[in-house]
A and B are shown apart, each in its own frame.
Chain A
Amino acid sequence: MSKLVIKDLHVSVEGKEILKGVNLELNTGEFHVIMGPNGTGKSTLASTIMGHYKYVVTKGSILLDGEDVLKMTVDERSRKGLFLAMQYPAEITGVTNSDFIKTAMHARLKDGETLPLMKFIRSLDKACEELKMRDDLPHRYVNEGFSGGEKKRNEILQMKLLRPKFAILDEIDSGLDVDALRIVGENVNDMKSDDFGALIITHYERLLDYIKPDYIHVLMNGKVVKEGGLDLMERIDQEGYDWIKEELGIEDDDTPNITSNILGTCATKVALKGEDK
Chain B
Amino acid sequence: MSDNKKIDEIISTDYKFGFHTDVENVYDTGRGISEEVVRKISAFKNEPEWMLNIRLEAYHEFAKMNWPKFGPSLDSINFDEYIYYIKSSKGVEKSWNDVPDAIKDTFDKLGIPEAEKKYLAGVSTQFESEVVYHNTLKELEDLGVLFCDTDTAVKKYPEIVKEYFSKIVPANDNMFAALNTAVWSGGSFIYVPKGVKLEKPLQSYFRINTEQMGQFERTLIIVEDEGSLHYVEGCTAPQYSKDSLHAAVVEIFVGEEGYCRYSTVQNWSNNIINLVTKRTLVKARGHMEWIDGNIGSAINMKYPACILAGEGAKGTTISIAFAGNGQYQDTGAKMIHLAPNTTSQIISKSICRGGGKVNYRGLVKHTKKAYNSKSHVECDTIILDDISTSDTVPTNIVENDSSYIEHEATVSKVSEEQLFYLMSRGLTESQATEMIVMGFIEPFAKELPMEYAVELNQLIKLEMKDSIG
A contact residues vs B (CB 8 Å cutoff): 50-53, 73-75, 77-79, 83-84, 86, 89-95, 99-100, 103-104, 107-108, 141-142, 158, 162
Nearest Cβ on chain A to B318's Cβ, whole angstroms: 13
Q: In the complex, given contacts A78-B424, A104-B427, A162-B425, what are 4 additional A-B residue pairs having Cβ atoms less than 8 angstroms apart?
A: A74-B424, A83-B424, A92-B422, A94-B438
Interface residues of chain B: helix, strand, loop or mixed (majority): helix
Per the 8 Å Cβ criterion, residues 5-33 of B in contact with A are none
> Can you name 14 A-B pairs with beta carbons within 8 Å?
A51-B424, A53-B420, A74-B424, A75-B423, A78-B423, A79-B426, A89-B421, A92-B439, A95-B438, A95-B442, A103-B431, A104-B426, A107-B425, A107-B428
> Which A residues touch B423, using CB under 8 A?
73-75, 78
Q: How far is the CB of A99 from chain B (nearest CB, A)?
A: 8
Q: Chain B residues near A84: list those with CB within 8 A.
A: 424
Chain B residue, CB-CB nearest to A104: B425
Chain B interface size band reads 20 to 34
User: A104 — which chain B residues lie within 8 A by C-beta?
Assistant: 422, 425-427
Q: Is B53 an interface residue (CB 8 A)?
A: no
| Bound-complex Cα distance A108 to B424 (A) | 12
Residue of B nearest to A90 (CB): B421
Across-interface contacts of B424 in A (CB, < 8 A)? 50-51, 74-75, 77-78, 83-84, 86
Q: State whether A92 touches B428 (Cβ < 8 A).
A: no
Q: B443 near A: Cβ within 8 Å?
A: yes
Q: Which of B36-44, B71-79, B394-402, B410-418 contacts A (4 or more CB under 8 A)?
A: B410-418
Interface presence of B435 (CB below 8 A): yes
Please, how many angstroms separate the alpha-carbon atoms of A100 and B435 in the complex?
A: 8
Contact A92:B421 (CB < 8 A) given known A75-B428, A107-B427: yes
Partner of B421, one of A51, A83, A86, A103: A86
CB neighbours (8 Å) of B101 from chain A are: none
A interface, over-half SS? mixed
Residues in B neighbouring A107, C-beta threshold 8 A: 425-428, 431
Q: Which has the most chain B C-beta neighbours within 10 Å: A93, A99, A141?
A: A93
B426's partner among A75, A92, A142 (CB-CB below 8 A) is A75
In the complex, the chain B residue whose C-beta lies closest to that of A74 is B423
Interface residue B429 (Cβ < 8 Å from any Cβ of A): yes
Q: For B439, give its contact among A75, A79, A83, A93 (CB under 8 Å).
A: A93
Q: Which of B242-282 touch A at CB < 8 Å?
A: none
- B residues with CB within 8 A of A: 415-418, 420-429, 431-432, 435-436, 438-443
Bound complex: CA A233 to CA B113 (Å): 69
- Nearest-neighbour CB distance to chain A for B95, whole angstroms, equals 38
Instruction: Tell me the bound Cα distance from A95 to B427 in angstroms.
Output: 14
Known: A53-B416, A74-B420, A90-B420. A95 touches B439 (CB 8 A): yes
- Neighbouring B residues of A93 by C-beta, 8 Å: 439-440, 442
B441: chain A residues at CB < 8 Å are: 94
Which one of A94, A103, A158 has the greatest number of beta carbons of chain B within 10 Å? Answer: A94
Interface centre among B418, B420, B440 (most CB of A within 10 A): B420
CB distance from B79 to the nearest CB of A (A): 42
Complex: A79 Cα to B416 Cα, angstroms: 19
Nearest-Cβ distance from residue B410 to partner chain A, whole angstroms? 11
The answer to whether A52 touches B422 (Cβ under 8 A) is no
Q: Report how far A79 CA is from B423 CA in the complex, Å.
A: 10
Pair A108/B438 contact, Cβ less than 8 Å? no
Given A75-B428, A94-B442, A141-B439, A100 and B422 contact (CB-CB distance below 8 Å) = yes
Residues of B within 8 A of A79 (CB): 426
Cα A251 to Cα B367 with chains together (Å): 69
- Give the complex CA separation of A74 and B423 in angstroms: 6
The residue among B416, B423, B435 with the most chain A CB atoms within 10 A of its own CB is B423
Residues of B within 8 A of A95 (CB): 435-436, 438-439, 442
Q: Which residues of A contact B425 (CB under 8 A)?
A: 78, 100, 104, 107, 158, 162
CA distance in complex: A74, B435 (Å): 16
By a CB distance below 8 angstroms, the chain B residues around A51 are 424
Q: Name the CB-closest residue of B to A159.
A: B425
Q: How far is the CB of A111 from chain B (nearest CB, A)?
A: 15
Residue of A nearest to B440 (CB): A94
Q: Which 8 A-B pairs have the closest CB atoms?
A: A94-B439, A94-B442, A107-B426, A95-B439, A90-B421, A104-B425, A78-B426, A74-B423
A93 and B418 alpha carbons, distance in the complex (Å)? 10
Minimum Cβ distance to chain A for residue B38 (Å): 47
A residues less than 8 Å from B416 (CB atoms):
53
